Structure 1
């Protein structure tokens, strides 16, 4: 008889086992220790688990990692589940769908899927997910900027410059492994920027914006950011318009990779890339 396949939460007890499974079967570029650190978010959350896994005869055959957070969305406190790394061994695809169903039944109010593979997108759409507009401006990073724009990257100084929502976002993501933080001082006014290094065609030469605190200040300070990124080996900036708040000058426009969400009384404008695998998992 075929051994039964059971579904269990990803928790602190099996975290290293899950990390090893993802290292060996999904992304070997991230170490086992790196996976284990990435799966535990730096922000506070009431959810003690990190997704679900499939076990057959005592061994892992599938994992769907998730990041949970409690956020104000659409004017209401919501429990958010970000669907992250989904990996199922060959021959267990049908069982793998149980992982997705378990996450969707976990009690969250809002779900995001911000890095789905091409085969996952149609599954999401059939389950009621809606696509986000990922129109992206691609801008070369050049060694020129306005002299009145300064850039701060020391995290202690950043913490002292930010207030309100940006200060909260920075505190929650300061320990996130996949993002970097800077503040652009434009005429003395701070604009908080979070970005991550990304690969395109296996080349880690791109910086993708994850959060921009002030669209108007960013438009004036983007050149200084570009110079900062250039000397760090990222000659190209990827700026999704929904993140930046509009088009970016001196760029060309492309359609970004799919991102989707699902939730009652939630609009696309309410969804961002924060509190997710975008900020925690490098690839």
Structure 2
């Protein structure tokens, strides 16, 4: 490829694509010693200078292994999709938090992290620099974002405040952070024949300092309710919007297809200019959130 040798159908296609200035993603895989060879690295550099996007392999067990399917797909999406968020910085919180009872047991919730990971993935694919503060969710984070791992709500708050010491344009807090923590977690494992009395105390709230730390950012909060009417859900969203947020996304996790871990969601999206109901995949909802944020930020310019 680097020397324009067209002796196979693949290399011929690449040469034609380069001549037509079509986007190309190269995904190398080989033994690590071959990959690290000076001449091979020079050829990779030559391809990059010609506009080829090289997806780095995973170095494992002495081999430069093929990048994962997810990484390849994400790279293609980024290459072909819109890049309207280039130069923007996005901070996302996702997943549950856990509060220890003792060194083994803890209280938590059913959040998978899917919604927040979707927001992070879509923002990154549109060119944004994304930081994902992630509790112990089950959804794999995208490969092209900065991931800050946390466990407790306090850890999430500390990480959140620390990241906001540098400017961010958009903040999306999807995390299902615990509302309560154990006042005094046991230092040793509690025995089953010694049932404890657990005293709960309010946990810190992740978004409490957002407006003060990021006065110019577009701030999105999420509100989860259980088995409520549309009117009650809207009222809860409006109340949260009054906490200084630019947008609130509210859902009733008791409804089919809208609960934790599902690929879809049914939400009410509310801003100061109105509200709308959206039934869609979490990726589509992520796109709608970011579209609205971008429109508002452009309106401020």
- Give the shorter-chain TM-score range: under 0.3
With the length of structure 2 as denominator, give the TM-score of the two structures: 0.25
Higher share in helix: 2
Q: Which has the higher strand share?
A: 1
TM-score normalized with structure 1 length: 0.26
Higher Rg of the two aligned structures: 2
State the structure with bigger RCO (CA 8 A, min sep 6), 1 or 2.
Answer: 1
